Copies of this chain bind each other. A is one copy, B any other.
C-alpha cells in the first residue's frame, strides 16, 4: 500500500470542515446508507459494533429533535438535510455470538455493566468517527454536535432506553461561504512523544 492521493486526503482531512450552514442540494439516502455500511467495516473491540443511528430527515422528526438541542444548535439542526442521532446499544453484546463467534465474548459483558457501558461508548465514538470520514469520502459534509440534552433525545427517540445517544451529526452539502477561519490545532510535539 502507498499513500492515497492528495485530493482524497484533502477531501477527508485537510480541506474538510465542520459546517453549520447547508446548500439547498438534495442528499440521496443511498449515499448516507453507503457511508454507514462502509463505516461498519472499521475496527471495533471484539467486533462489537455497538453504534445505532436514527437518521432524522422528515419535518416531523426534526420537530421531535429540536426541543432537545441547545439554542446555539437549533438552526443548524432545522436547516441540515439530515441530522443523525449517533447512539449505542447498551445490550450490544447480545450480538457477539454472531459477530465474534470463536469465543464466548458475550460473557465478558453480561455480568459487568460498567465494562459494557464503557465499551459501547468508546466503540460507538470510534464508529461515529468512521462514519464522519466515510460521509466525507462520499462527497458529503458533516457538522457533529455535543450541545444537546442526551436524556431528552433518548426519551424522544429511544423510549425503551435500550439505546443511549453519544452525539448528533448534521449531514449535507456544506456552505463554504459561511465558514469562519479554521481554529488552531495542537502541534505534534504538544500531544505526542516517542519512547
Contact = CB atoms under 8 A, between A and B. Distances in A.
Contacts of A132: 42-43, 126
Contact of A125 (B41, B58, B125, B141): B125
Interface in A136-164: 136-142, 144-146, 157
Contact of A185 (B3, B5, B41): B41
20 contacts: A1-B11, A2-B139, A3-B137, A8-B8, A8-B137, A12-B12, A13-B38, A13-B39, A13-B134, A14-B38, A36-B191, A36-B192, A53-B191, A99-B184, A100-B183, A125-B125, A125-B129, A127-B129, A129-B129, A133-B133
Contacts of A46: 146
- The 10 A-B residue pairs with the shortest CB-CB distance, nearest first, are A129-B129, A125-B125, A61-B195, A1-B139, A4-B8, A45-B146, A53-B192, A126-B129, A8-B8, A18-B43
Interface of A: 1-5, 7-9, 11-14, 16, 18, 29, 33, 36-43, 45-47, 49, 51-58, 60-61, 64, 95, 98-101, 119, 121-123, 125-130, 132-134, 136-142, 144-146, 157, 166-167, 173, 183-188, 191-195
